[in-house]
Structure 1
Amino acid sequence: MRKPACAALAVMMTMIFSPFSQAGQAWESYKARFLMPDGRVVDTGNGNVSHTEGQGFAMLMAVASDDKTAFDKLWHWTDSTLKNKSNGLFYWRYNPVLPDPIPDKNNASDGDALIAWALLKADARWHDARYSQASDAITKSLVARTVIRYAGYRVMLPGAQGFNLNSEVILNPSYFIFPAWQAFADRSHLQVWRELIQDGHKVLGKMGTGTANLPTDWMSLAAGGKLTPANAWPPRMSYDAIRIPLYIHWSSPQSPSLTPWRSWFGQFSREKTPAWVNVTTNEYAPYMMEGGLLAVRDLTMGQASGEPDITAKDDYYSASLKMLVWLADQ
């Protein structure tokens, strides 16, 4: 009986880990293109700056690829270079060509959440409690610095500074990283994470604007509860908002919150889906989705196609979306 039992165990372990340990050529291509030897991820579409978002993306990919060497480089650079010791979060942007590479001392809550989530996954894979302890410290700071109750909702602000304007708060719904929030809820058992998930879906359900019935990249939540596109940004569903269906699907592929996205994508043929839409004027982008944007569309429509091909045409963001779609689809 031993051999069948061992075989069954081997099959079970393969089912658990293989989607997150066989990243193969896609991860190697991503590393070669965007990961510097010191552990910094470069945004090739944006002057080779770095963001906490990109560090978190790559940390998730490294865990998924069972690449502890790369993960530790990523985490060490992030922790030693971007950590704001005064509040336990991370400076959101690093520009290596400036005299002060970090002129803006604010954080970005999505980057912080991605880093913390990747650290939890790292402990689960490599059994090093230091990772999860670091994650716990970040999530504690996130709750203390960026989570508020406003207009009847529990919401996470995009950063610790500058987004609570008293008469309104500015939200970025692509920062609602539902699978990360669920992981934090499962670990901490704190009600705040479950409230963020529940209210995040409620808020998203009321963000649909215009004929497209979609949120914009940046939204305003007024004290009275009204949700409108935020004034300081174009009223577009664009390069930020495309991550909304990615994170919804990653958390719950059958979520009703995906319905408006499927309706929007479904009215266009795959190759003729506009890259953005102005929800106020219903103006479409003069160019179509491709690369990572198209990968998110495919995931949302149930048409994801396995390991991505990271091509020379893909900049950092396109390649990142392709990789994240692959992880979300496992």
Structure 2
Amino acid sequence: MPFRRQLLLTFLAAGMPWPFASASGSAWWQIWCEQYLRNGRVVDWQQGISHSEGQGYGLLLAQAIGDRNAFEQIEAWTQAHLAVRQDRLMAWSRRQEDGRIDWRNATDGDLFRAWALLRADRDSGWNGYRDTALAVARDIADLCLSPDPRAPAEWLLLPGAEARRTPDRVLFNPSYIMPRALRELGEAASDPRLLQAADHGETVLAELAASSQLWNWVDVTGSSFLPSEEHRAGWGFDALRIPLYLVWSGYRAHPAVAAALQNLMMDAQPGHVVVARDEEGHLISQSDRPGFLALRDLTHCATLPNWLSGAGDYYSDILLALCHVALREGECFA
């Protein structure tokens, strides 16, 4: 067993947090890779799968940290095992146990992968990724946008190419709106549809915040927002990412950030944040995991927790890592 991983397990067994380490993030990144990266495959041990969001997040983190070797491994595994559809989007997941694939895409995974590839070529000087980034971006625009039933000239970002949509009712995941990624890809691909999806996505988030419907999933109809036909209404693990992406994009004053902060904090025990509420806003569950606490602290541009949750706590650890990058790149230090 590598010494660093053995040391991590010793910390965890003693109930001690593992330090996030230096400002550069190199030490935490090594630990994160040892926990979740296997020859380019980002593994969500809690679900026993690798999924497109994880690969996209891993690519973005590797680029932000400057780890070209990890970046190339993640992209190579992604191309071989998830970029297997007839279009340029990824299959959503591959099971760890038997390799079974869910062929449907998840738009946020494709968005982060394309953005990471664009950043690698444009910002890191790692040549050869731009064409793939733009091809993925154009397929997002072609396959993962739908007119808003309330305003058919406006584009809604769909959660997937196969997502349910009709002229009168469209399935929408508010946490898929990452304005900065949409805008940078839209500009690079010269595709105004992605720019419009970013603009309209911000408008919809403001509307959802005003109506107390900042939920994981909603249906956008011709006159209102309704609970999704497929998913329970309420605040939860998906919606947690809304303030992260807005602050990262430079919109800390956006109404959805304030609404998200209220959802995180109202009725929470000291040292906890609320991670699930029902349709009426009543508390279902709360957590003191550092990745969830980081979402609260990021909205204040405050110092973030500097440790990983521990072995296998994939979602908290990925949120913590993304919050650190968002704090560095967003308006907090602009």
Fold shared, TM-score > 0.5 on shorter chain: yes
Distance 2:85 2:47 in 1: 27
CA offset digits 1:288-315 (Å, max 9, x no partner): 3422111111112332437x31242561
2:275 matched residue in structure 1:
275
Question: Which letter does structure 2 place at the counterpart of 1:161?
Answer: E
- Report the alpha carbon displacement of residue 60 of structure 1 after superposing the two structures with TM: 0.8
Given the alignment of the two structures, is residue 146 of structure 1 paired with residue 148 of structure 2, yes or no? no
Question: Which letter does structure 2 place at the counterpart of 1:87?
Answer: D
- Report the alpha carbon displacement of residue 28 of structure 1 after superposing the two structures with TM: 0.7
Distance 1:131 1:183 in 2: 15
* TM-score of the aligned structures, taking structure 2 as reference length: 0.84
Q: Cα RMSD (Å) of the superposition? A: 2.2
- Cα gap change, 1:31 to 1:203, in 2 (>3 Å): same
| Structure 2: runs of 5 or more not aligned | 1-22, 329-334
Given the alignment of the two structures, is residue 71 of structure 1 paired with residue 71 of structure 2, yes or no? yes
1:136 matched residue in structure 2:
134
Distance 1:270 1:122 in 2: 40
Instruction: Report the identity percentage.
Output: 27
Contact 1:174-1:217 at 8 Å conserved across structures: yes
Question: Which letter does structure 1 place at the counterpart of 2:239?
Answer: A
1:204 matched residue in structure 2:
205
1:116 matched residue in structure 2:
114
1:36 matched residue in structure 2:
38
* Structure number having the greater strand percentage: 2
Contact 2:59-2:113 at 8 Å conserved across structures: yes
Distance 1:275 1:262 in 2: 11
Contact 1:214-1:260 at 8 Å conserved across structures: no
- Report the alpha carbon displacement of residue 176 of structure 1 after superposing the two structures with TM: 0.8
- Report the alpha carbon displacement of residue 279 of structure 1 after superposing the two structures with TM: 2.8
| Correspondence 1:1-330 to 2 at 5 A | 22-37=24-39, 39-47=40-48, 49-98=49-98, 101-102=100-101, 104-151=102-149, 152=151, 153-208=154-209, 213-222=212-221, 224-257=222-255, 258-265=257-264, 267=266, 268=268, 271-280=271-280, 282-305=281-304, 308-312=306-310, 315-330=313-328
Contact 1:34-1:43 at 8 Å conserved across structures: yes
CA offset digits 1:145-185 (Å, max 9, x no partner): 11122221311111111321443111111111112112113
Contact 1:265-1:273 at 8 Å conserved across structures: yes
Contact 1:304-1:329 at 8 Å conserved across structures: no
Distance 1:265 1:286 in 2: 11
Task: Give secondary structure in 2 for the equivalent of 1:271.
Answer: coil
* TM-score of the aligned structures, taking structure 1 as reference length: 0.85
- With 199-208 and 52-61 compared, the bigger mean Cα shift is at 199-208
Give the count of matched residue pairs: 302
Task: Give secondary structure in 2 for the equivalent of 1:236.
Answer: coil
| Structure 1: runs of 5 or more not aligned | 1-20
CA offset digits 1:74-113 (Å, max 9, x no partner): 0000011111341111101111323x521x3110100000
- Cα gap change, 1:159 to 1:286, in 2 (>3 Å): closer
Distance 1:190 1:243 in 2: 25
